[in-house]
Amino acid sequence: MSAGPLDNRPASGAPLVLLTGFEPFGGMDHNPSWDVVTAVAARAAAGQSSLPGAPEVRPLCLPVAFGQAPRLLDEAVEAAVVEGRPPAAVLALGLAAGTDVVRLERVGVNLRDARIPDNAGAQPADEPVVEGGDGALFSTLRLKAAHTRISAANIPVQLSLSAGSFVCNDVLYSLLHGLRVRGLEIPGGFVHVPDLRDPLAPVRLEGAVEAVEILLEEALHGGADVATPGGTLH
């Protein structure tokens, strides 16, 4: 049986999902995005999640460094393709300190503008992520479908029109650009999580894990996103 373009399942074995988080940055000693990644990967490995096709969730911790982080993710995508297991979905997670909702990022912009130095000491101002690339690229996850389900599970969540202009946006834009360049028509995108360790935080680790599993379920489900009206007025 030959595999169609959207059937990324190898002849034998489970589909592969790449799931990334970040190391700490900005003087913090911890990044909860990595806790979410390891929890989701462990649950998938133990058969505890209800992800369709029982995928292998491959975790990757990215450095908070412009250029390096997207390069490592691109290398992981390349390695999976070379292995004969092109990923069925790629989801990157990062911390948005100061927010109290899970933020589903809809768009990556072709801009590096750093308010603080990254972990390698770089602090670019108004540089493109990809020279000559499109101004912005859209997430290809089923974000509206996931948003509806995450809200229904009483997890604070928001569709977001900006992932900022720091390293998370660098990864989001580069991921979407890289998938397009490789001709890989697979769902890819980015989610910001709040500081999950704050005892007053409305989102805790379990909630963030559930939100990510819903996003992955929707991504593996495939097809176009639902077209419910949304957006923001300002």
List residues with catalytic annotation: 168
Among 87, 164, 178, 187, contact with ligand PCA (rule: CB under 6 A): 164
∠ Cα 106 141 16 (to 5°): 140
CA distance 38 to 24: 15
Among 39, 44, 57, 64, contact with ligand PCA (rule: CB under 6 A): 64
Using CB under 6 A as the binding rule, the residues of this chain from 142 to 161 that contact ligand PCA are none
Secondary structure in 3-state letters for 89-102 = EEEEEEECCCCCCE
Tell whether residue 60 is a contact of ligand PCA (CB under 6 A).
no
Residue 80 or residue 95: which is nearer to ligand PCA going by CB?
A: 95
Tell whether residue 31 is a contact of ligand PCA (CB under 6 A).
yes
We find the least distance from the C-beta atom of residue 217 to ligand PCA, in angstroms, to be: 23
Phi and psi at 94, nearest 5°, equal: -150, 170
Tell me how far CA of residue 140 lies from CA of 104, 177, 233, in angstroms.
11, 11, 23
We find the least distance from the C-beta atom of residue 22 to ligand PCA, in angstroms, to be: 4
Among 102, 60, 72, 110, CA closest to 205: 102
Tell whether residue 190 is a contact of ligand PCA (CB under 6 A).
no
Tell whether residue 94 is a contact of ligand PCA (CB under 6 A).
yes
